[in-house]
Structure 1
Amino acid sequence: EVRPAKMSYELHPPIDADKGTAVRQLAKGLDLVLFVGDDVGDLPAFEALEALEAAGVETVRVVVDSDELAPELAARADLVLPNPAGVVSLLRSLAEGTRRQAS
């Protein structure tokens, strides 16, 4: 199956799985899940995060802004970062905070 993506098309195999399926599998047993997306293909992951949140899991939905950012993805985000470098900064800040708490 061919699906539109950000400035491209994605080829998907004929299986019943998407990024939401992956999020649900990877999140099993976790108390907190953070996901970063930038494309309409990330909507299933955001939907999975919303379901996890309804089940009591803390979630953070992050998007990277661009001219091609889908409004429906941005509307569901907890945080909009200006560019990919913002993701790196966010992850470094989280890692530093974790190191400080462990000390």
Structure 2
Amino acid sequence: MFDLATDFLTAVPAALAPMNIDINPNDSGLPGIAQLRTIVGAVMTVGLILSVLALIVSAIVWGFGANSSNPHLASRGKVGVLVSCGAAILCGASVTLINFFWNVGQQV
């Protein structure tokens, strides 16, 4: 006898089983990849330069706040120093982070 529910439940898992697909990044697939790499490198450089500038400005604000007994200004300077250091860490470690998570994703 024909049982639609049983036939459907046995056919669906076989159809949804993942096939063995192997796709790797292709650095020659699109025109302009070399220019895009150059642009990304330039943006990373600008990010690092701006992080250093923010660190200098925040340290100056922190110093003025501490010397003028202004706790609000000093705390803003401290936060600015921490944020600029975090931004520099992210800019500097971005390639390593992307490669790490790419390799983790390949093992899933």
TM-score, normalised via structure 1 length: 0.25
Name whichever structure is richer in strand by fraction. 1
